[in-house]
Amino acid sequence: MGDRSATGGYDPSGIDIDAWEKLELQLEETIPNYDRVNRLMTFGQDKRWRRNVRNHATPGMKVLEVGCGPGSFAEDLVGLDVTCLDPSAEMLKVAKNRVDSARESRGESPAQYVEAIAESIPLDDNTFDMVFCLFSFRDFQDKKKGLSEIYRVLKPGGRLVICDAGKANWFHGLGGRIWMATVVQWIARYVTREKNHPWKGLANTYTQYGTNGYYRAMMKEVGFDDVQGRLLMPFMMSSRFRATKPKAE
Ligand SMILES: C[S@@+](CC[C@H](N)C(=O)[O-])C[C@H]1O[C@@H](n2cnc3c(N)ncnc32)[C@H](O)[C@@H]1O
């Protein structure tokens, strides 16, 4: 990944464009091994986290997943009107195959796919009952802008649920960085059989990520109500944020 030169290498509010473009290439390289590495590095907890987030939706809702990647989360969104957004055409191609065949097997109509970044969502105001971000928030170029766009496309009373790597505070973040720099690297090397696997650079996105408190404050600044954000048990590896767009602005 780039060195985020514009920010001296660390800025939890976003990523400079040069570093982001390199990050996108690395994310695309993960596609063939993405689910397997995730499963191993989280001791299988990623499935539980996805279910936890998914259970916030109720049948019939119109939902948007921002940063859908290869469709690991969206394929299991049952009984919902689903839109998947991602800036990577490669990710969207894989997601479309996967999500639409799962939907077809359940007798559901295909999802909608949008190639765009969170910071500039080409969709109308007040459209969605719920927006999900699974392991994509820490990749946003500009987190406040992305949150503002999500706020705009949510209906009044609509909810945002984010699940991403957990960082409660500096000390907890240090533990996470050690985990990313050691165990995750060994697992990725084992699964990919490559010395230069993409998880080498991806560990930086955790190093440069902010704390739960930092993002809770950002969500409130954007206008969200009922903002919550906490580590998920049992391993405290990930955090889940929930926030609501007020009914009357
Ligand atoms: C690690 S994948 C997450 C995949 C999936 N959501 C899941 O449940 O595992 C992160 C995704 O975020 C996307 N992404 C990166 N920057 C983004 C941005 N600014 N706006 C929206 N998505 C972004 C990447 O293209 C990538 O597909």
Among the atoms of ligand 1, which is closest to the Cα of residue 73? 8
Region class of 106: left (phi > 0), else alpha (psi between -120 and 50), else beta: alpha
Tell me, what DSSP letter sits at residue 70? T
- Rounded to 10 deg, the angle between the 45-54 and 34-41 helix axes is 100
Other CB atoms within 10 A of residue 122 CB: 11
Averaged pLDDT for residues 103-129: 98
User: In which band, very low, low, confident or very high, does the pLDDT at 163 lie, cut at 50, 70 and 90?
Assistant: very high
Averaged pLDDT for residues 223-235: 91
Model confidence at 1: pLDDT above 60: no
pLDDT digits (tens, 9 = 90+) for 97-110: 999 999 999 999 99
Averaged pLDDT for residues 190-207: 87
CATH number of 5-244: 3.40.50.150
pTM of the model: 0.94
Q: What angle do CA 171, 3, 139 make, to 5 degrees?
A: 70
Which residues form the pocket of ligand 1, taking CB atoms under 6 Å from any ligand atom? 24, 27, 66-69, 72-73, 86-88, 91, 117-119, 134-136, 139-141
pLDDT digits (tens, 9 = 90+) for 22-44: 999 999 999 999 899 989 988 88
Pocket test for ligand 1, best of 136, 137, 138, 141 (most atoms within 8 A of CB): 136
The percent of residues in the chain predicted with pLDDT above 90, rounded, is 69
Averaged pLDDT for residues 50-55: 95
